[in-house]
């Protein structure tokens, strides 16, 4: 009976909790906007700055389509549970400004997210770069968002990735 009451409380609380979360990190890079955009629109280039892409040097990669265009897919499969298996597909390109992609995670846990890289000129030779990740958990799993700080869990990886991008673009 006690277990039933606890489960009931969790289910009721989960009804009122958000099901979505968003993580955003930004940096400035001392390069013109067009140069940054031209680099980030290619998913294969993420292999050189994304923390997740560098976690497993033995990760299997597969590419489908023409990189830097809507519909291109970068798929990965790793035994490393922090990397897992999934794919990323370019779903929108805002010419000269940003790239939006859909992420589909297969293992260790299924899930979906939307990632965005956006660029905005600060001046002719300085660009603000934003990396945003939007995802969520369906009811009643959204209860876990009470216990997990997704911004803290994933935000650091976005920051490291942006720092890697900055280092790569400024050298």
Residue 142 has a pLDDT of 67
Model confidence at 9, pLDDT cuts 50, 70, 90, reads confident
65-112 pLDDT tens trace: 999 999 999 999 999 988 999 999 999 999 999 999 999 999 998 999
pLDDT at residue 140 tops 70: yes
pLDDT band at 32 (very low <50, low <70, confident <90, very high): very high
pLDDT per residue as tens digits for the range 115-139: 999 999 999 999 999 999 998 888 7
Contacts of 19 (CB under 8 A, 6+ apart): 136, 137, 138, 139, 142, 145
Q: What dihedral do alpha carbons 76, 77, 83, 84 form, nearest 10°?
A: 130
CATH number of 2-170: 3.30.530.20
Q: Any idea where the domains of the chain sit in the sequence?
A: 2-170
Residue 60: name the closest of 77, 48, 75 by CA. 77
Query: What is the longest distance spanned by two Cα atoms in the chain?
Result: 67
């Amino acid at each position: 009976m006690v277990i039933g009451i606890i489960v009931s409380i969790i289910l009721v609380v989960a009804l009122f909790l958000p099901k979505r979360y968003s993580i955003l990190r930004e940096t400035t890079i001392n390069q013109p906007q067009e140069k940054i955009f031209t680099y980030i629109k290619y998913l294969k280039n993420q292999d050189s700055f994304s923390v997740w892409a560098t976690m497993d040097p033995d990760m299997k990669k597969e590419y489908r389509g023409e990189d830097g265009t809507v519909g291109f897919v970068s798929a990965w499969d790793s035994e490393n549970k922090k990397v897992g298996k999934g794919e990323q597909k370019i779903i929108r390109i805002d010419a000269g400004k940003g790239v939006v992609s859909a992420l589909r995670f297969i293992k260790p846990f299924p899930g979906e997210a939307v990632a965005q890289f956006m660029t905005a000129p600060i001046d002719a030779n300085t660009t603000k770069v934003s990396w945003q990740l939007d995802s969520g958990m369906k009811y009643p799993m959204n209860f876990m968002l009470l216990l997990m700080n997704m911004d803290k869990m994933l935000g650091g990886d976005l920051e490291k990735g942006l720092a890697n991008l900055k280092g790569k673009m400024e050298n």
